[in-house]
């Protein structure tokens, strides 16, 4: 038994303790019934349980701490690694469809909006999410909803050990005590609802470190003290903290108040009263005069700054498709850049302007669908890349800041790290680590043709594995998983050691229970890299990224662009051309002849070509995952006679990776 769904029925009685014997049970849905009694501690014995929905019942008693003890031993199969949509309960027993869960792996995403459960009542919200393939440690539940019941007692501190938990809804109960500081350990949490209880004490500062938190609600409790400053806690609306008389700080009223002046003793003498009145009148007149002078001075100063700001804005170049929109920003030069690296902590917008010569055309090193990229030389001698975003998706300030805070903490040797970000009016700037060699697209297709450098097979192999490693990290090691959505050779950058770094992954939506966008209105991706299924469903998947990676691998093997009318004609592309040759057993014609002549031989090239063909399968379920692609690369290295190189470390000394182009003109 893997999945039990009995939601929205008329069940009564208690939850059977025998459910604890179902060690393979992954999903248990008992919401919207009339169940009574307590939540059985035996549910903690369900070692594969990742989804527990008990909302809108008559449950009482304490929350069992044993629920945090699952091992999450869900192996690939009918549940794990699948895409789901579910409806979160935001309206109590009136929302009969709340908690509904449906798999939509083979369902057009736009059809979800027509499901009856989605419109069961106005107070519901639809989410999409993906269950993970395997878990190796306790705390693997990803969804737990026991809202709209009457459970009481304390929140078990052990719940902070559920490292994969994405949704925790304990709202509308009778919980008492404090919010455990251990909840700061919920590193994957996105939805945390503790509202409508009797919780007391402070909001733990540890909650400020929850990078993926996008919906927090602690309203209608008895909480006191300041809202922790930092992270995303101060970005949530007032309603999420309402009806806690002792809470203060952003976004609520400021903490503390000016001390009241001591009441003076009553003056008994008439003479003293008159003298006091005269002195007070003189003092008042003097203060009025001083305030008038200060007001005039301030008005003059503001006007001067306004003129200076207008001249500054007019002086900004419009080197590309974007224009500067700073008309409503006071003192834009002094705005700080939010940074994730200590050496950049004091960076301001003025420093970025100076480092790019006012974002001049001479410093622009690239442009794409998300904006223009500029090379910036900072005062300390370091070089960074600054991306000036085109406004996309209509994100609000809080959503933008939350996403940037999340992306800034993702570090990997094969990802381009986000060093900081800055918001000035409607403009949004991202600061990245500078990559010396630029994009793979430029080096492979443009530089070599102009007589610059030539990437030999050792270099291309290193780039192929590095890009795969970075994409595998996004798909399988990030919590929650990240789908790139626009994997292409121009988004694979090369550092000074020709190590591949995947870029622009921060522009992708995070695949988690927080993603309310189940489909996109326009086709995601770049022509030549878009998998065939995207033309039907418009839904982005990890297997779509695998297809795009297959195109990049084919580029490295063939040396050809994905779309080239002069090479493939108007109605064909690199993938179609290569598949036809592959079917006709003419695979050698696909390969770059500069590579075939190398000593590495054709055998290894054909192995990599076979991996590319698997990634480019028209059927998504037939494509390997990026973890499987990495395993295939590892197997090739194990079978290879080379001893100097390994999957994770390529030798730069034995074989030069960049050579002078063989077609270089004298």
Q: Which value, in Å, is the radius of gyration of the alpha carbons in the chain? A: 30
Nearest Cα residue to 252 out of 198, 201, 193, 203:
203
Paired sense of beta strands 418-424 and 427-433, if any: antiparallel
Question: Three-state SS for 447?
Answer: helix
DSSP 8-class letter at 588: G
Which residue is it, tokens 């890009």? 467
Lookup result for tokens 């297959």: 550
Q: How far is CA 353 from CA 282, 334, 386, 576, 652, in A?
A: 51, 11, 10, 45, 37
Question: Which parts of 409-560 fold into alpha helices (H)?
Answer: 440-441, 457-472, 534-537, 542-558
- How deeply is 358 buried, as exposed, middle or buried, from its count of CB atoms within 10 A (0-12, 13-18, 19+)? middle
Listed in sequence order, the residues at least 6 apart from 360 whose beta carbon sits closer than 8 Å to its beta carbon are 317, 319
Three-class SS string for 6-69?
A: CCCCCCCCECCHHHHHCCCCCEEECCCCCCEECCCHHHHHCCCCCEEECCCCEECCCCCHHHHH
For residue 454, give both structure tokens.
């030539």
305 marked as binding residue: no
Question: Angle, to 10 degrees, between the axis of helix 457-472 and the axis of helix 626-639?
Answer: 140
Phi, psi of 381 (to 5 degrees): 95, -10
Q: Does residue 577 contact residue 559 with C-beta atoms inside 8 Å?
A: no
Residue 99: enclosing H or E segment and its boundaries? Answer: none
Residue 250 in tokens: 């952003």
What is the secondary structure of 227-295 as a DSSP string?
A: PPPSTTGGGS-GGGT-S-TEEESTTSSPSS-PPPPPPPPPP--HHHHHHHHHHHHHHHHHHHHHHHHHH
How many Cβ atoms are within 10 Å of 415's Cβ, its own excluded? 24
Report the distance separating Cα 198 and Cα 93, nearest Å: 21
**Six token digits for residue 142:** 């990803």
Determine which one of 486, 504, 545, 617 is catalytic: 486
- Give the separation between CA 177 and CA 169, rounded to whole angstroms: 17
What angle is formed at CA 392 by the lines to CA 386 and CA 394, rounded to 5 degrees?
Answer: 125
**Among residues 241, 262, 258, which one has the least CA distance to residue 194?**
241
Whether the ω angle into residue 426 lies within 30 degrees of 0, i.e. cis, is: no
486 is catalytic: yes
Copy the structure tokens of residue 33: 């019934």
Q: Decide: residue 575, CB within 10 A, 0-12 exposed, 13-18 middle, 19+ buried.
A: buried
Residue ranges at the known binding site for ATP: 388
Active site (catalytic) residues? 486
């Amino acid at each position: 038994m893997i999945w039990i769904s009995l939601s929205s029925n008329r069940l009564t009685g208690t939850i059977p303790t025998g459910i604890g014997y179902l060690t393979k049970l992954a999903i248990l849905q008992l919401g919207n019934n009339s169940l009574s009694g307590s939540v059985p501690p035996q549910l903690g014995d369900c070692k594969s349980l990742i989804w527990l929905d008990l909302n809108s019942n008559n449950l009482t008693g304490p929350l069992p701490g044993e629920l945090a003890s699952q091992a999450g031993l869900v192996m690939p199969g009918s549940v794990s690694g699948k895409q789901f949509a579910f409806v979160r309960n935001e309206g109590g027993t009136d929302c009969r469809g709340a908690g509904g869960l449906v798999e939509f792996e083979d369902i057009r995403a736009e059809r979800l909006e027509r499901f009856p459960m989605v419109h069961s009542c106005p107070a519901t919200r639809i989410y999409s999410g993906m269950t993970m393939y395997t878990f190796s440690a306790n705390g693997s539940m990803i969804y737990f909803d026991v809202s709209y019941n009457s459970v009481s007692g304390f929140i078990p501190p052990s719940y902070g050990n559920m490292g994969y938990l994405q949704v925790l809804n304990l709202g509308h109960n009778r919980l008492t005590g404090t919010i455990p500081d251990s909840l700061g350990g919920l590193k994957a949490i996105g939805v945390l609802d503790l509202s409508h209880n009797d919780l007391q004490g402070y909001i733990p500062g540890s909650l400020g470190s929850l990078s993926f938190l996008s919906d927090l609600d602690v309203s209608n409790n008895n909480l006191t003290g300041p809202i922790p400053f930092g992270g995303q806690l101060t970005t949530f609306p007032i309603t999420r903290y309402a009806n806690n008389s002792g809470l203060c700080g952003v976004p609520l009223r400021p903490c503390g108040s000016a001390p009241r002046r001591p009441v003076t003793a009553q003056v008994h003498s008439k003479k003293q009263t008159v003298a006091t009145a005269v002195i007070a009148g003189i003092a008042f007149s003097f203060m009025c005069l001083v305030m008038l002078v200060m007001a005039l001075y301030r008005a003059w100063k503001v006007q001067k700054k306004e003129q200076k700001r207008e001249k500054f804005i007019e002086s900004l170049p419009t080197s590309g498709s974007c224009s500067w929109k700073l008309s409503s920003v006071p003192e834009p030069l002094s705005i700080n850049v939010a940074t994730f690296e200590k050496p950049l902590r004091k960076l301001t917008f003025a420093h970025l302007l100076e480092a790019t010569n006012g974002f001049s055309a001479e410093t622009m090193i690239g442009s794409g669908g998300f904006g223009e990229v500029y090379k910036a030389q900072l005062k300390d001698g370091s070089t960074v890349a600054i991306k000036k975003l085109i406004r996309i998706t209509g994100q609000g300030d809080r959503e933008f800041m939350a996403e940037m805070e999340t992306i800034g903490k993702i570090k990997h040797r094969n990802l381009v790290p986000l060093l900081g970000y800055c918001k000035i009016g409607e403009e949004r700037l991202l600061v990245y680590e500078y990559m010396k060699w630029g994009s793979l697209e430029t080096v492979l297709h443009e530089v070599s043709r102009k007589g610059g450098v030539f990437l030999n097979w050792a270099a291309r192999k290193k780039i192929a594995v590095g890009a795969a490693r970075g994409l595998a990290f996004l798909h399988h090691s990030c919590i929650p998983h990240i789908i790139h959505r626009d994997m292409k050779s121009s988004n694979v950058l090369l550092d000074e050691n020709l190590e591949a770094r995947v870029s622009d992954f921060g522009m992708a939506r995070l695949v988690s229970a927080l993603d309310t966008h189940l489909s996109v209105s326009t086709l995601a991706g770049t022509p030549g890299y878009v998998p065939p299924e995207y033309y039907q469903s418009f839904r982005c998947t990890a297997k779509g990224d695998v297809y795009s990676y297959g195109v990049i691998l084919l580029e490295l093997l063939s040396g050809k662009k994905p779309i080239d009318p002069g090479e493939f004609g108007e109605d064909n592309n690199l993938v179609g051309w290569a598949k036809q040759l592959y079917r006709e057993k003419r695979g050698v014609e696909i390969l770059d002849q500069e590579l075939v002549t190398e000593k590495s031989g054709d055998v290894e090239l054909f192995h990599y070509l076979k991996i590319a063909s698997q990634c480019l399968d028209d059927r998504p379920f037939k494509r390997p995952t990026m973890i499987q692609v990495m395993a295939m690369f590892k197997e090739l290295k194990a079978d290879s006679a080379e001893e100097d190189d390994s999957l994770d470390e390529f030798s730069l000394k034995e074989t030069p990776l960049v050579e002078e182009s063989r077609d270089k003109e004298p």
